[in-house]
Amino acid sequence: MAYIMKALITGSNGLVGSALKKILGENHVYHTRQDADLTDEIQTKEYVKNQVENFGVDTIIHCAARVGGVQANTNNNQGFFLDNYLINNNILKSAYEFNVPNFVNILSTCIFPDKEITYPLTADQIDNGAPHPSNYGYSYAKRLAGYETKIFRNLTKGNWINIVPTNVYGPCDNFHLIDSHMIPGMIHRAFLAKQNNEKFVIWGDGTPLRQFIHSKDLAMNILWALNNWDSDNHFMAINEEEVSVMDIAKIITEKFELEENQLVFDSSKPKGQFRKPAKTDIPSDYNFVGLRQGIYETIDWFIKNYSNARK
């Protein structure tokens, strides 16, 4: 079991990092891009060294990543691979060099193979084949980080773990109209549809099924796993409820009070895999944030912080 004296959260302004900050409070180190460019090996090494030697950091929760939705990944697989490989390798090597005893590496269910798998997804299937072509750059970079975390765990005998969440959503996300993940992108388009009395366009046909976890739930279970997950197997942080893209669209439409005829589908846009349900390692008595509540809260945050939100 880990006893955290002082944690360093990379990517603390992002979706997951900001949720951890809200739970942990101010007595920790919250990295942002302005503090150190994690794609730069020298900057990363000096930054981690300083936090460990001068501020007593004994835990790194690595949330920083270059992320994007299906279209952003499809258009630039090479860029997503290179940036994430550099970020992950630099922070992992630095944590190892400066003897950080606790390390949490955040992955994604996109690392799973596109084929040669059985549902629900389980951690032992990751190496069964290639990921979906739409995001193989990001996915392979994340897979490599997972292997590297295991290698350093074996070398250090420390509390180094990998966590695989399903689709994460919540406040402080990236709401870009093109490059974001599904829920924040839909929220932004619905906001503009309401403002301008325009159509609310949904990518694809609305049929794909997905599992979602609120950033608060993921943050809570990262901390639970840090203190309880004593295995080199990946910890699957999954809310097992499956919902369709259409279900998400209806919740967002209702919150913005859009007319039914404003909701349209664009089949020319990518929709990704039809479904990819995964099995969870989260304790069965954990109470998740309800999807409708979580989306409503995310919309409220976006409207309140519209001028400063990433978009």
Active-site residues, by number, are 138
Q: Which of 48, 83, 88, 53 is nearest to 67 (CA)?
A: 83
Q: Work out whether the CA dihedral 290, 293, 296, 297 comes out positive or negative.
A: negative
Alpha carbons 245 and 161: distance in angstroms, whole number: 31
Alpha carbons 26 and 23: distance in angstroms, whole number: 9
Alpha carbons 27 and 297: distance in angstroms, whole number: 26
DSSP assigned state of 220:
H
Amino acid at 247: D
Structural tokens at position 245:
């893209």
- C-alpha dist (Å) from residue 224 to 103, 120, 218, 231, 282: 13, 23, 10, 13, 9
Per the CB < 8 A criterion, the answer to whether 201 and 213 are in contact is no
- C-alpha dist (Å) from residue 277 to 103, 209, 244, 268: 27, 8, 12, 25
Residue with tokens 């299937």: 125
Residue with tokens 């936090």: 51
The CB density around residue 163, as the number of other CB atoms within 10 Å, is 25
Structural tokens at position 106:
């955040």
